[in-house]
Structure 1
Amino acid sequence: MKLEADVCIVGAGPGGALLGYLLAKNNLSTIVIERHEAINKEFRGEHLNHEGEAVLRALNLYDKVEQEGLLMMKSVEYWQDGEVVKRVRPGKGEKHVGIHVPQRNLLNVFIREAKRFPHYHLLMGTRLTEVLTDETDSVTGVRAKSGEQEVVIKSSVVIGADGRFSTLRKLAQLPFSIFPHGYDLLWAKIPSPKGWEPTIRQALVGDKQLAVFTQAGGFVQIGWNIPEDSFPVLKKQAFMPFIQQVSDAFPELAGSVQRYIRSWNDFILLKVHSSACETWVKDGLVIMGDAAHTMSPTGAFGINAALVDAEVLSDVLVDALRLGDTSAGQLKKFELLRRGAVEKLQEIQRVKEETYRKNFAVPTLY
């Protein structure tokens, strides 16, 4: 199968899906390919901050996402010995300290809105296999597989929005560096107890962070920092003393924890790292979101940065295609607009991780 479009986007996560909608809205023919068969993958980073919310409101999408389903957090709490020692509430004029949005709700809105345009096409279950170039090494499209069928897409620009292990980044041979953070993360999701407030709760277990995020739909998600590469050894130890520490930190969760987290198999392991690429562009190609700048989970900056990327990149691409110039020099405008802000966020993450213990130093409630 051979297809043509102004833009081909690899990856239909929040950044890629939003970019697809914005380009289609600007009358650019757009093809999005996604390796998963359906929008039903379990995600972890699902909290919007004020930056992500501002993007949705500016694009008149917030109300649609709200109708699909979201949950505003009332506070961030720091717990010690089973009690709150510090509470952060919304600032003056603010309604929340974060918003949980199931990513499938976010994606449903972006994709549904994009499909209103006849020049938008989404190809699910389609896996990137090759980046196509011309005699000058400019990117001219991609080759992919949909089941056993080969798909060739010719496009003026190819966008890599395919995440922290980006296939497009690898195939395009864009150099990047990985920075470990000294910890990995165990995730588990359990039903929230009756009367549970929509909060983000933090605790220290030993010297490691334990976080509980309230989710829309009546769930809480537990994120437990463990030393980097320690899970294989940890799994050989007794499970019940380990999980009892969650009940000790957050007594209200004891019943749900004991019922729903019964073995190491009930956790999902996330290998934590951040990354930086030497450049985000080549002639005819741009990478964005985690493909360009992987974030650690701290502060849930990743999804919000991807949404801002999409908003900024859409304007750059509209101008580039209007001018008929998709060279690296023209596309570099996106990187110049975003790199500084992204690097600042990554530094904030590192500082937050290094100073996390200080949140528990002085009991403060307000």
Structure 2
Amino acid sequence: MPDDPSSSTACIVGAGPAGLLLALLLGRAGHRVTVLERSPHIDLDRWAGAPVLQPVSLRILEREGLLDQVRAGAGFIDSGEVRAPGQDVARYAYQELPDAPVPYALTVPVTVLRGTLLRALEELPGVDVRLGATVEDLPGAADGRRELSFTDGQGTHRLSPDFIVGCDGKFSAVRELAGIPAEVFTYDRGYLDFVVPAPPGWGPRITMNFQDDAYVLTMPYPGDRLIVVWITAEERVDAALAGSFARFAAELTERAPELADLFPAEVTALGWEGIPRRQVQHHMVRPERWLDGNVLLIGDSAHAMHAFGGQGLNTSLQDAVLAAEGIGRAVGADGSTTVLEELLRHRLPFVEGFQETQRRTLAPRPGEPARRNADTLPDFLRMVLGQPELRHLWNGVPAGAPR
């Protein structure tokens, strides 16, 4: 625990992957950090979704010595296939992609990533993780900067950190208490993911199947399993879950015969009650600004997005690197937020551009042409390598350094 947590470099609200990675980066740089998590317990044993971490994000974990631990609990992906009705659109192997910092991707259960980060934080005496802590207010200090008031089982506390970082999700309390206006768009597209055993010989690959009215994704999942993602009209997802799993599997494979091996009789006989699954409501969040005085938003608090394209967790981890660089400069020799502001000036248009691609694909406005099939796939190399203007940060080169 920091000697004086009330005056730490950063108070990070939210112990998700982005908040924990930021705490780790700042803590290893010698800063005092307080992490506040509203939940009284972090359950690392529950079944969780497993987003794909692309090579750019795996490189960040590799730099911090965490990649081997994460990989041990993840699904390994060495290649991918993109299909549309009646055609193979593209095939790729990660080891053949130019400049990929790691020659593979991983499907990483969020619980595995959080557990790895929490264990790493235990080694840092300057980082204090407090569970069961609810942020109540962000009162203004005498110098115009905000402080933070929170309650826990021991009462009410007030902190005066250099920075308050909102990592507390798409309905961020920090964002609301700071008075930062935000557009919150609710997608009416249905999203279902579920896990089935991997068929013999399936291989460590990701498959993307684009249809005019649906998108089906399969990815390796830990334990010799596959996670299947189905994005389609919300009423179709509701109807599928109200019916039998066997009927759903038959309808899915009629449209995508190459998936038939996923649904042998012994799997369809399990029924929905025997299939781990999640039905998720997605939102797009666009705050008016990410930085307001000494309040910074990153991850879903700054840019919640749809799972289509698989960039939510990737962009959040990259945000943490950006935030650590900017905060470190602001409280160090630079003594100003100039570097942080410049990094955000590059970051916002890139992230909002990706959000707009998702929206135009999944929820076109009246008069906008509908994007269909594999034409909807975002720029793949940017997903693998990260934002070009900030790629040096993900590779460990400080802002302003020669490169």
TM-score by length of 2: 0.76
The question of whether the paired residues in 2 share the 8 Å contact of 1:246 and 1:257 is answered with: no
Map residues 104-115 of structure 1 onto 2, 5 A cutoff. 104-115=111-122
Structure 2 residue 78 is matched with structure 1 residue 74: yes
Structure 1 residue 42: deviation in Å? Answer: 4.3
Structure 2 residue 373 is matched with structure 1 residue 357: yes
User: Cα distance 1:191–1:265, how it changes in 2: closer, same or farther (>3 A)?
Assistant: closer
Q: More relative contact order in 1 or in 2 (CA 8 Å, sep 6+)?
A: 1
Partner of 2:141: 134
Structure 2 residue 199 is matched with structure 1 residue 196: no
CA distance in 2 between counterparts of 1:18 and 1:323 reads: 23
CA RMSD of aligned residues (A): 3.4
The question of whether the paired residues in 1 share the 8 Å contact of 2:196 and 2:275 is answered with: no
1:66-85 alpha-carbon deviations (Å, 9 max, x no partner): 3x433331322245789977
Structure 1 residue 47: deviation in Å? Answer: 0.9
CA distance in 1 between counterparts of 2:215 and 2:375 reads: 11
Question: Which residue, out of 296, 300, 311, partners 2:310?
Answer: 300
User: Cα distance 1:105–1:238, how it changes in 2: closer, same or farther (>3 A)?
Assistant: closer
Question: Which residue, out of 200, 208, 213, partners 1:207?
Answer: 213
CA distance in 2 between counterparts of 1:51 and 1:215 reads: 20
Question: Which residue, out of 35, 41, 47, partners 1:32?
Answer: 35
Question: Which residue, out of 117, 120, 125, partners 2:124?
Answer: 117
Partner of 1:364: none
Structure 2 residue 190 is matched with structure 1 residue 144: no
User: Cα distance 1:263–1:345, how it changes in 2: closer, same or farther (>3 A)?
Assistant: same
Letter in 2 for 1:26: A
The question of whether the paired residues in 2 share the 8 Å contact of 1:21 and 1:114 is answered with: yes
The percent of aligned pairs where both chains have the same amino acid is: 23
Letter in 1 for 2:17: P
Structure 1 residue 165: deviation in Å? Answer: 2.1
Question: Which residue, out of 285, 309, 332, partners 1:322?
Answer: 332
Higher mean Cα deviation, 288-297 or 251-260? Answer: 251-260
| Contiguous gaps of at least 5 residues in structure 1 | 361-366
Structure 1 residue 205: deviation in Å? Answer: 6.0
Structure 1 residue 261: deviation in Å? Answer: 4.1
CA distance in 2 between counterparts of 1:165 and 1:257 reads: 37
The number of residues matched between the two structures is 356
Letter in 2 for 1:156: D
Partner of 2:12: 9
CA distance in 2 between counterparts of 1:338 and 1:45 reads: 25
CA distance in 2 between counterparts of 1:97 and 1:324 reads: 37
CA distance in 2 between counterparts of 1:124 and 1:34 reads: 5
Letter in 2 for 1:252: D
Letter in 2 for 1:293: H
Structure 2 residue 276 is matched with structure 1 residue 276: no
Structure 1 residue 320: deviation in Å? Answer: 1.4
The question of whether the paired residues in 1 share the 8 Å contact of 2:58 and 2:105 is answered with: no
The question of whether the paired residues in 2 share the 8 Å contact of 1:178 and 1:275 is answered with: yes
Structure 1 residue 253: deviation in Å? Answer: 1.1
Question: Which residue, out of 241, 251, 254, partners 2:247?
Answer: 241
Structure 1 residue 133: deviation in Å? Answer: 2.8
Higher mean Cα deviation, 260-269 or 132-141? Answer: 260-269
1:262-321 alpha-carbon deviations (Å, 9 max, x no partner): 259964221123221110122221110111011211221111111111111111111212
1:68-117 alpha-carbon deviations (Å, 9 max, x no partner): 43333132224578997753333256675632222233223322222222
Higher mean Cα deviation, 39-48 or 219-228? Answer: 39-48
**Aligned with 1:186: secondary structure?**
strand
CA distance in 2 between counterparts of 1:81 and 1:101 reads: 29
CA distance in 2 between counterparts of 1:28 and 1:325 reads: 15
Map residues 151-190 of structure 1 onto 2, 5 A cutoff. 151-190=157-196
User: Cα distance 1:28–1:198, how it changes in 2: closer, same or farther (>3 A)?
Assistant: same
